[in-house]
Structure 1
């Protein structure tokens, strides 16, 4: 039975302030320059998961503490970054993102050095709840600091993108990007609907020590597959609604026999290449893998981990649709 469309497909992409702003309790009020412009000291109050902040209406020196929405939304809209967390990847900044308006310092993945960050003279620091959970108080002493919820906190990726865009002052531009993505996904679904109706797909991730089925859940690539009309296997159903993956041992690979097509990527986040490659060989060289109907039919496709796993933006969603445009004709 075909699954219902994701939240992005069920509703207009959060027109008005929507759920993204509700996540932070954010309002766009603040003192205005009576001359008709905005002074550099104008602020808006923001409530967020770790407290409150007075955020500049026009931030000039921004630090993004995660390579998800904090970095990706900033680059999509030319927000003036002075430093940002980046991926353990080559390149560390995904190629599907605009290069922005200037250079910024790369902080690496998962590194929050308060003393180092103090040297940037930032007026705004933004990060997801995980990146700020241990250092919020110290960083809030340096600059206006805002934490936002993401899929780790059961918040849809597009809601997080709108929340971050509102903090940066570019919500309307972000809404347009999301609307453009939604239109493209609907067009893709209509174009390929007949072919997709007859195929079930499992999305796989090889980690440093195991193979995981990326479940049909809130996780970013799963939402894009749903928006594009891709049907998932029964083995992709999470045991609990909040489960974003199901682990498979080499002896459990036969569970993937319900897939007509396998899409896979290796690693993600803090990528450790050698260990991930070893995991890939351990599973795919086994007899159970070789017996899978999708493997025997040659319907196994690798996709880039930087977009499929670390993506968190309309630009990343577009990159996934680019891959699907290339791959779906080969599903037949």
Structure 2
């Protein structure tokens, strides 16, 4: 008897399965970024309909009020939020990979506070007023804070290097935050200038786009090819050396990229915590441990998280808004506690 049943398809190989999953997640991530971008442009104290947004984008009219609001306020603000969120997401992913610490984040490890402290010093004692100046100060502060946290955190008796790094980062961030507060409250002019920036905000930052965007884009372009290197470093130093990787150079370059991204983000909008932490874990949940996929996806998740938090902060209050740094803290703090308990990294 002739067998007329349809031929059985061979199962997809693990590599093809990962590629298919990664491509699907990438498409969804791009769509989410676009949707968040449009929502950030359309929603606010004065909502603008989607059709009106499209009309203004296609046919700008400088005389119309809605057009003025979009082009001078919401579009720069939303684009800056996407860029900064992507930078923080990538920075968090790289830091977690380099330290093998699932709790690593530019804010938790004190890197953002180091950047913020140097910026405050520059404003008060050096007379720095432009964002490009903020960036170089933030870069120096981020590098110093990252070095101190690593040196202190890897030489503790906390039971694991992960806990040691977190404890060192939290302690250093607390010290630097106290110094910032002590300096700022003694100078009324500095306090007025920094009181919103110091908690992270996108309001009134449209003028920094041209100055900070080259640094952010440079950092993101340098970060994209690091996925394969981070995968190899995750196998251990001996294995990485056997595969031809110069481990010390690779770690130093990857850390420099993470610090660059953190410095650019902090110089632009101030310290914003938990974005890197949440974005990195969401990306791994969606794509798996392969950094060739999870690193770019963490950029998209960070962009969506920061921009959506900023949009929500504009809508919650009838008059005024909640700074984006406070909104991300509201989302990120419970996530941090849940993650620490689930990973058994903290004994309560």
The TM-score, its normalising length taken from structure 1, stands at 0.25
Select the structure with the greater relative contact order (CA < 8 A; seq sep ≥ 6).
2
Bigger Rg over Cα = 2
TM-score under structure 2 normalisation? 0.24
Whichever structure has more strand as a proportion of its residues is 1
